[in-house]
Amino acid sequence: MPIFKKTQSEPKDKASSTQEADDALLHAVRSILVGQERDRLKELEDKILSWKDEIEASDKESKDRIDNILDELNTLDKNSRENRFKSRANTSQIESLLRKSEETKEGLIERIAPVMADLVKRSVQDSPHEMGKILGPAIGSALRQQIRTEKDDLVDALYPVIGETITKSIIEALSEFTKNIDRRLRKRKPQEIITARLQGVSPGELFFRDNLPYQIQRVFLIHRNSGLLLTQVSASGEPNADLDIISGMLTAIRDFAKDSFGESGELNEIKHGDQLILLQTSQDIYVASVLNGTIPQGYNALLSLVVIEVNTKYEDELHNFDGDMDKLPPLQNELRPLLYPYDILKPAGLSRKQKRSTFIIILSFLLFLLLSTFYCIFTIRLWPYAFPSETPHPTATIVMPTATMTQTPHPTVTKTLTPTPTPTLRPDQGAAIGNLNIRSGPGTDNTVLDILYEGELFIILRESHGWLYIRHEAEGEDPLEGWVNALWVTR
């Protein structure tokens, strides 16, 4: 930088040389005045320049980095915008879907329906038990609803599946039932069939009437007023600690029914599953009979009869019963007929009409027999007088068996009917009643060893199926053992 300014203008050459001289002078002055500082300045200037270069280099690097960051920011901004745009698009789509679903259920159904079946299918495949638990009640409910509303449709739909099975089962059961009945009917005794015919019913009907299954399990006798158990009998004999509570509850049920439905009636029957409780009341007591199966004919009447009889018989004791069990009469035996009514309730005897018919039949038969006998006697007695010249044929027929008897070595039936007297025998002895073969074995196929003559004695060693193994000892002969037919032996 110039320290001094030019003060005047001269011709160019001169001026230029002067200028140069000035410069040199100036330079010299400068060197004298600020030589050292100039160097230092120079150094400083160099340093500054170096720093400037560094700064510039640093600036450039920073700028590059900033540019990169800016680029990244721009990219991010761009992405963000794109996302925002997509998000908006999605939101609007969801809103549109929601609007659509709210507007119409059908819209939602349309969208879900295509995947619903797959969804259920997959769930069932993945966890069948869980799905069963979830769907079970719903299916039950749906079925009930369907039965209520579309019963016929459901029946039509199910019939092909279960109808055939049911039909088959019923046919099989009926067939088995028929066979059983038939088998049992065949085993019936002739007198039962005659009884049935006399009663005017078929044997089958009588069979059913007699054999419809029932079993009296227990009979309670209960104090009517207090509901206290007086006594009880049971078929099994098993003790039951709660019988008095049962008696109380039965009484409460009876009372409840009476209070609810009127004093005029009585509760006579309580049904629980296969069990039936029959009740019959008298003045101070009532009887409750627990039975399985069908009520036997006449059983209710028997209950009524027994309860009235017992009440009448022990009227004072039952009427004044105050809970002291020792003061009660022995009532258990009175209930036995109700526990085992099988003999009492056998089919009733013949009706008056049936008895009359039977009497007429028997009388007619006897009359016929009497007339026949009279006719026979009359004919036989009058025959010789009516036809005196003819040979009496009956004599010839009587003689014939005698001839047969003498021709065979074996005794005939006629002889067994009139055995000849034999001496007194020991327990192991026997005597032949007629000429008798001794055989090698028990049976007529076996060889004849010898003959025993009528009245001959022998020792019986053993017996088998109508044949006797004997030992015969005759004087002067060896003892002989063999088999004889027991029919021709007297002991």
Minimal distance, residue 240 CB to other proteins, in Å = 12
- Write the CB contacts of 280 (distance below 8 Å, at least 6 apart in sequence): 268, 286, 287, 300, 303, 304, 307
Can you tell me which of 152, 259, 316, 390 binds other proteins, judged by CB under 8 A? 259
Can you tell me which of 21, 325, 370, 398 binds other proteins, judged by CB under 8 A? 325
Provide the residue type at 361 as one letter.
I
In the Cβ-directed half-sphere of 201, how many Cα atoms lie within 13 Å?
17
Which residue, 223 or 439, has its beta carbon nearer to other proteins? Answer: 223
Minimal distance, residue 253 CB to other proteins, in Å = 9
Q: How far, in Å, CA of 419 to CA of 93, rounded?
A: 129
| String of DSSP letters for 240-285 | -TTHHHHHHHHHHHHHHHHHHH-TT----EEEETTEEEEEEE-SSE
Minimal distance, residue 247 CB to other proteins, in Å = 9
Minimal distance, residue 325 CB to other proteins, in Å = 4
Residue 102, both tokens: 């709210």
Which residue, 226 or 446, has its beta carbon nearer to other proteins? Answer: 226
Residue 134 as a binder of other proteins (CB under 8 A): the answer is no
Q: How far, in Å, CA of 292 to CA of 307, rounded?
A: 21
Which residue, 13 or 326, has its beta carbon nearer to other proteins? Answer: 326
Minimal distance, residue 311 CB to other proteins, in Å = 16
Can you tell me which of 216, 219, 221, 229 binds other proteins, judged by CB under 8 A? 229
Can you tell me which of 50, 225, 358, 364 binds other proteins, judged by CB under 8 A? 225
Residue 249 as a binder of other proteins (CB under 8 A): the answer is yes
Residue with tokens 């997959």: 122
Determine the 3-state secondary structure of 437 from DSSP. strand
Minimal distance, residue 132 CB to other proteins, in Å = 33
Determine contact, residues 469/460, Cβ cutoff 8 Å.
yes
Residue 228 as a binder of other proteins (CB under 8 A): the answer is yes
Minimal distance, residue 231 CB to other proteins, in Å = 12
Residue 411, both tokens: 């005794």
Q: How far, in Å, CA of 139 to CA of 133, rounded?
A: 10
Can you tell me which of 134, 252, 451, 461 binds other proteins, judged by CB under 8 A? 252
Cβ-based burial of 334 (10 A; exposed 0-12, middle 13-18, buried ≥19): buried
Binding mask 326-365 for other proteins (x = CB under 8 A): x---------------------------------------
Residue 256, both tokens: 């409840």
Can you tell me which of 206, 216, 227, 486 binds other proteins, judged by CB under 8 A? 227
Residue 416, both tokens: 């067994």
Can you tell me which of 177, 256, 368, 378 binds other proteins, judged by CB under 8 A? 256
Which residue, 253 or 308, has its beta carbon nearer to other proteins? Answer: 253
Q: How far, in Å, CA of 179 to CA of 173, rounded?
A: 10
Can you tell me which of 223, 314, 436, 470 binds other proteins, judged by CB under 8 A? 223
Minimal distance, residue 197 CB to other proteins, in Å = 52
Determine contact, residues 253/367, Cβ cutoff 8 Å.
no
Query: What is the contact surface with other proteins in residues (CB under 8 A)?
Result: 223, 225-229, 242, 244-245, 248-249, 252, 255-256, 258-259, 322-326
